[in-house]
Structure 1
Amino acid sequence: MKNQPLLSKPFLTSLFLGIGGFLYGYDSGIITPSLALKSFLVYFGQPDAATRGAIVSVYQAGAWLGSASVGFTSDRFGRRKAIAFGCIWGVIGSALMAGAAHVAMLIMGRLLVGFAVGTVTGVAPVFGAEIAKTHERAKITAANQMMVAWGFFVALWTGVGEGKWNNPNQWRLGFAIQGVPAVLLGLGVLFISESPRWLCLKGRHKEAKQAFRNYHYDGSNDTWVDAEFTIIQVNIEEERKAQGRLSWADLLKTPAFRKRLFVGSFVWAAAMLSGISFVQYYQTAIYATLQFDQNEQLLVSGLYGTVAPVACLASLFFVDRIGRKKILITSSALLSLCYLIITILAAVYPARPDFPTNVSAQRGLIACIFAVSANYSALLGPMTWIIPPEVFTTELRAKANALVQVIHYSISLVITQCSPIALAAVGWKYYILFILTNALCALVFAFAYPETRGKSLEEIDEIFGDVKVFYSGSAKMANDEEIAVETSEVSDKKD
């Protein structure tokens, strides 16, 4: 099973599921140029910093609610139906935003679109991880980040186009477009095979085997398909016998589960503390402090959006070849350096009305903002989609990933609400926060993170202190404090 083609069926399926990532990127991005459009600001009564923060951050609140729901919907109804359910709210939210008559209607639309995104992003990476082969799992789940980048790219350039369209309702176009990917994903996901691991978890083994063959059979690998499916089936059955029916509380009761939850959650916390949300949402405000007019703000933000897709595409060629820890440490350390340079340039060479500006310093600051995007999109960003789904057991995966996304959107909610207020109050000094948070994250990754590259989803159990103990053919999970009487590896390396 070596040297698999780049466009394997699981990878193509993940690209399709990545429409959810596209929706996330587009919905996140379209508010950025909207806040720079004079027609938008005039229509909504020149919203102050707190109101702008609310318009942006209510999206994160909706995503929080959507993420909290998927632990139930994904486990109860399946990965596909949970995604389709989320997309329904995306279509409704898009319609409300496009037809918004006042701020309250706009905010309600943002809330529903956020709910859709929280639901989809809580399920799609899990789905992708569950259908992937070990050697391409990182590439498959990282496809979500690439689609997020493309969504953001399209949103920002839609904003550029809106700026060229001399119409008082120009801002409505971008909001209306949000419904298109939601419709495509919501309908299309019902025509692909369900996750074989979820079907096994529900005892639907015949359907699970057929779904597994749909994803992995290439016309000549019957033996591998049968053997691989048997391993997955046995492991999930043993996992169910050992763990029983896990509740939300079980995520915190067991040391191994707590460690998994920390690893899965902290990578998203680091992503939000990297300042990427602040840069993405409020970059036009940063450009405004450089005395750029509306068209210049929109153009530079469009160019910014071009960086991420290229960086994400590049990451697909090395993300399965380099250790997760090395990528995480490098990314956070470089992000801290970028913010250090941004802070120095903004402090030493401020752009003030009626004063000469240092053009070189402005270009340097913008280049560092672009470097933040390139770094995040190629390194830290893909890890946020790769690590959480792979560190949890099948029984835990949906619930735990939902909780991880709740933490993700909670931090993002705080940052997006507070950033415009902080930027207005302290200016460049706000950037110091991200120098410190990124440096701290680099240290945590260096000293508290395990390496999971090259491990199957079942083999990762051992990393977190779980040992499969066999007694006369039955297995149970043993924690560090329990004595393993007889251990056995379930299989050789998968591929």
Structure 2
Amino acid sequence: MGLAQKFTPKIGAVAKSKADIEAAQAEAPHLKRVNWRSDPGLRKLYFYAFFICIASATTGYDGSMLNNLRILPIWTDYFKDPKGDTLGLLTALYAIGSIASLPIAPFIADRFGRRSCITIGCVIMIAAAAIQGAAQNLDYFMGGRFLMGFGNSLAQLSSPLLLTELCHPQHRARVTAVYNCLWNVGAIICTWLTFGTKRIDNDWCWRIPALSQAAPSVIQLAAIWFIPESPRWLISKERNEEALNILAKYHANGDADNATVQFEYAEIKETLRLEFQYQKSSSYLDFFKTKGNRYRLMLLASLGLFSQWSGNGLVSYYATDVYDSIGIKDADTQLGINGGLTILSLIVSVSCALLVDRVGRRPLFISATAAMCVTFIVWTIASSQQEATKSKAAGQAVIAMIWIFSVAYALAWSGLLVAYTVEILPFKIRAKGLMIMNFFIQVALTINQYVNPYGFQYLHPTWKFYTIYACWIFLELIFVTVFYVETRGPTLEEVAKIFDGDEAEVAHVDLGKVEDDIMQHGGTTGFEKEDHVRVEQVRSSS
């Protein structure tokens, strides 16, 4: 199905109005389709996109690192096997560091640009990895984790913003959905690296994985100087010619008079003018000022919380405890299971990310959450049987459910968590909105990382602890079914119509008029829109 194909989703009665969604879908432009494989500009752009996506791998590396290090006897002996409060704080410090960056990350991204924010984040993460790898005691290691969370928040905020604002409209959703899937790449590298260093019979068995967490940041820092800045950010700073040159270079091989380029430029420029017409800057209070923004805020909070409170944290951070509870205590076996699981999750998540324009966002969210709910219920039942009877078959069933659960999560939540977030937000509040979603992720992680150790330590048998998650995921399924709306079809700017209806601050640019104007004037003049707002058209100087 194409970018502009109409789609009428079935939504709950209390969600956004069906008329707003249908109107936004109906007005989606029929842009000329392109094949990135045969287009030099797009091939170069998506080569750069890989390096933007590396930020997600850093997060995945951390998500697996502590879990894998806890399997190593030398690490547990060196740091005196932290448990309870100490383990909770050690795990949570990454999230706490991320929360600490909340006041400044969107400011840097909006004031100095997406690339500058990524650069600062990478430098901080490289320093953090060095501190972790050289740690002489647990306090040093904890300090490195806090700093790693702080730096990662900067890079993790700006990378998806830059990615979605650079992509060609035809590929935006799929490429942005792939972004968060590369979390699994970091997890795979960390897991198998630790599997290898386990054979080292000294401190370097854990220092090497800790130091290697800097690798994704080093790669991204080296590449960022070649990656173009967001054309939307450039236009917001009135650097219009630079923005047009970037759109032309990467979306039309330098042809500034290309109809798609002229349409994008006109729509972005006029939409940003409307967004900033009465307010030159944005604030977090903007999320409470309109009905559409309050709806967005509700979705952002749910995305952040559901993505971490669905039981996936048990697999990412506490898999060792899960395996121990069913009698699998061999370190090689645990690392092997983790490694295979992350590879499977990567394959499934990327495959589903490439289907977001064919299947739609909403069906993927509902299917994934429903499958997670059913799987977790079976997981809980199998765990109760294993703990009661010590049945090997029940233990194997738990492992199977962990794998199936990870596949279910990867159907939607791996890729769409970030892609859906940046898609539902207009430019003016996009950086702050993504930070809000990340804030709820870190709050959920912090609570998880304090509560989960207590759950495993004090709530016996363990299946009672799992029951809490099973009930919560069922509530998530109800919420997703009622409130998550389909956003497939419109351009990045036009998605605002789904949430704001007639009050959306979106330029009404007619693609047909853009094409006629190019035919008549070579793209050098302006054209009158239906609402009589003149959209300036300029020729690239390149």
The 8 Å contact of residues 240 and 395 in structure 1, kept in 2 or not, is answered as yes
Are 2:354 and 1:317 equivalent residues in the alignment? yes
The 8 Å contact of residues 9 and 216 in structure 1, kept in 2 or not, is answered as no
Aligned to 2:19: none
Q: CA deviation at 1:232?
A: 1.5
Change in 2 beyond 3 A, CA 1:425/1:487: farther
Are 2:199 and 1:164 equivalent residues in the alignment? yes
Q: In structure 2, what is the Cα distance between the partners aligned to 1:9 and 1:265?
A: 35
The 8 Å contact of residues 184 and 345 in structure 2, kept in 1 or not, is answered as yes
Are 2:305 and 1:274 equivalent residues in the alignment? no
Q: CA deviation at 1:386?
A: 0.8
Matches within 5 A, 1:371-382: 371-382=404-415
Are 2:306 and 1:306 equivalent residues in the alignment? no
Give the match's secondary structure for 1:350.
helix
Amino acid of the structure 2 residue aligned with 1:417: Y
Aligned to 2:449: 416
Q: In structure 1, what is the Cα distance between the partners aligned to 2:49 and 2:300?
A: 20
Q: CA deviation at 1:108?
A: 0.3
Are 2:125 and 1:90 equivalent residues in the alignment? yes
Aligned to 2:74: 39
Moved more, 445-454 or 100-109: 445-454
Q: CA deviation at 1:149?
A: 0.9
Change in 2 beyond 3 A, CA 1:227/1:199: same
Matches within 5 A, 1:97-112: 97-112=132-147
The 8 Å contact of residues 373 and 470 in structure 2, kept in 1 or not, is answered as yes
Aligned to 1:365: 398
Give the match's secondary structure for 2:170.
helix
Amino acid of the structure 2 residue aligned with 1:105: Y
Q: In structure 2, what is the Cα distance between the partners aligned to 1:66 and 1:25?
A: 19
Q: CA deviation at 1:337?
A: 1.0
Unaligned runs of 5+ in 2: 1-31, 510-529, 536-542
Q: CA deviation at 1:487?
A: 6.8
Aligned to 2:14: none
The counterpart of 2:374, out of the listed 327, 337, 350, is 337
Are 2:420 and 1:387 equivalent residues in the alignment? yes
The 8 Å contact of residues 314 and 322 in structure 2, kept in 1 or not, is answered as no
Moved more, 42-51 or 88-97: 42-51
Amino acid of the structure 2 residue aligned with 1:410: V
Matches within 5 A, 1:212-223: 212-218=247-253, 222-223=257-258
Q: In structure 1, what is the Cα distance between the partners aligned to 2:504 and 2:381?
A: 56
Q: In structure 2, what is the Cα distance between the partners aligned to 1:11 and 1:275?
A: 33
Aligned to 2:288: 252
Are 2:93 and 1:58 equivalent residues in the alignment? yes
Give the match's secondary structure for 1:398.
helix
- Identity in percent: 26
Amino acid of the structure 1 residue aligned with 2:290: T
Q: In structure 1, what is the Cα distance between the partners aligned to 2:503 and 2:225?
A: 36
Q: CA deviation at 1:165?
A: 2.4
Q: CA deviation at 1:468?
A: 5.4
Q: In structure 1, what is the Cα distance between the partners aligned to 2:263 and 2:495?
A: 19
Change in 2 beyond 3 A, CA 1:68/1:279: farther
Aligned to 2:35: 4
Q: In structure 2, what is the Cα distance between the partners aligned to 1:56 and 1:453?
A: 37
The 8 Å contact of residues 51 and 219 in structure 2, kept in 1 or not, is answered as no
Amino acid of the structure 2 residue aligned with 1:57: A
Q: Give the aligned length.
A: 474
The 8 Å contact of residues 368 and 410 in structure 2, kept in 1 or not, is answered as no
Are 2:477 and 1:442 equivalent residues in the alignment? yes
Change in 2 beyond 3 A, CA 1:459/1:165: same
The counterpart of 1:194, out of the listed 215, 229, 243, is 229
Alignment root-mean-square deviation, CA: 2.3
Q: CA deviation at 1:218?
A: 2.8
The counterpart of 2:275, out of the listed 224, 239, 255, is 239
Give the match's secondary structure for 1:465.
helix
Q: CA deviation at 1:219?
A: 5.6
Amino acid of the structure 2 residue aligned with 1:188: A
Moved more, 36-45 or 202-211: 202-211
The 8 Å contact of residues 288 and 297 in structure 1, kept in 2 or not, is answered as no
Are 2:183 and 1:152 equivalent residues in the alignment? no
Give the match's secondary structure for 1:134.
coil
User: Deviation per CA, 1:119-160, whole angstroms, max 9, x where unpaired?
Assistant: 111111111111223332221111222211111111111121
Q: In structure 2, what is the Cα distance between the partners aligned to 1:327 and 1:393?
A: 23
The 8 Å contact of residues 94 and 179 in structure 1, kept in 2 or not, is answered as yes
Give the match's secondary structure for 2:359.
coil
TM norm structure 1 = 0.90
The 8 Å contact of residues 300 and 421 in structure 2, kept in 1 or not, is answered as yes
Q: In structure 2, what is the Cα distance between the partners aligned to 1:261 and 1:67?
A: 16
Q: CA deviation at 1:263?
A: 2.0
TM norm structure 2 = 0.83
Q: In structure 1, what is the Cα distance between the partners aligned to 2:187 and 2:531?
A: 48
Aligned to 1:26: 61
User: Deviation per CA, 1:154-210, whole angstroms, max 9, x where unpaired?
Assistant: 111112112222224311110010111112212321221100001111111111112
Moved more, 298-307 or 79-88: 298-307
